[in-house]
Chain A
Amino acid sequence: DAGVIQSPRHEVTEMGQEVTLRCKPISGHNSLFWYRQTMMRGLELLIYFNNNVPIDDSGMPEDRFSAKMPNASFSTLKIQPSEPRDSAVYFCASSPIPGNYGYTFGSGTRLTVV
């Protein structure tokens, strides 16, 4: 299995631009998670899906952030418009339900907004 695949690995964009981060979960995993990691706030759960349905989006910082999971093999996290304070590493993870052993993380996307 190729694991959780995230793209791009690095993204540098200008303030105000739209940014789209992509994630392909492990085949057969029913849950998908988006996390953001910063030095100040650590690892924050932004949103997670069970069976392609958003379950908890209470961590999404504001309306500029949106996430979709149109099918079991693909999810996107979009920031529009981006701001410098959005600079962070964004991780996607997937797991079976329940995720006793299988919370697998992607390599992350390092986003820099200048």
Chain B
Amino acid sequence: AQKITQTQPGMFVQEKEAVTLDCTYDTSDPSYGLFWYKQPSSGEMIFLIYQGSYDQQNATEGRYSLNFQKARKSANLVISASQLGDSAMYFCAMRGGGAAGNKLTFGGGTRVLVKP
């Protein structure tokens, strides 16, 4: 079974600083994908970044980067140069392979508040 764990319920970060959001996962499938989503107070789910289990390099998308450590089963999100608009809930998610098919499972989320 797939499992995603986000151990940080909430955190503060100073504007313009970097912040790392932790995510660990558990799966027995060799092929899987890892995602991060942002949910601002308005409620929509915004896709940020994707990492495939066979990707050799860490994914980056603008100010977002994913620190993928396969042996440790972790996929931490790094947001560089935080902005006030980064204040939101952040969810880590995993797409399984094999019997899990295209199923996307979410962690519990981390609330980030950026301070001016």
Q: Residues of A at under 8 Å CB distance from B?
A: 30-31, 33, 35, 42-43, 45, 48, 50, 55-56, 89, 91, 93, 95, 97-101, 103-105, 107-108
Contact = CB atoms under 8 A, between A and B. Distances in A.
Most buried by A among B35, B93, B103, B108: B103
B102 A97 contact: yes
Closest 7 pairs between A and B when the two form their complex, measured CB to CB = A105-B45, A43-B106, A31-B102, A42-B108, A97-B102, A99-B102, A100-B33
Q: Secondary structure of the B side of the interface?
A: strand
Interface residues of B, number: 22
B47 interface: yes
Given A98-B33, A103-B35, A33 B104 contact: yes
Contact of A48 (B52, B91, B103): B103
B52 A100 contact: yes
A58 B109 CA distance: 22
B102 A107 contact: no
Name, among B97, B101, B105, B109, the residue most crowded by chain A CB atoms within 10 Å (CB to CB). Answer: B101
Nearest to A103: B104
Interface in B24-63: 33, 35, 37, 43-45, 47, 50, 52
Nearest to A56: B103
Contact of B104 (A42, A93, A101, A108): A93
B43 A108 contact: yes
A48 to B, nearest CB: 6
Contacts of B45: 91, 93, 105
Contacts of B102: 30-31, 48, 50, 55, 95, 97-99
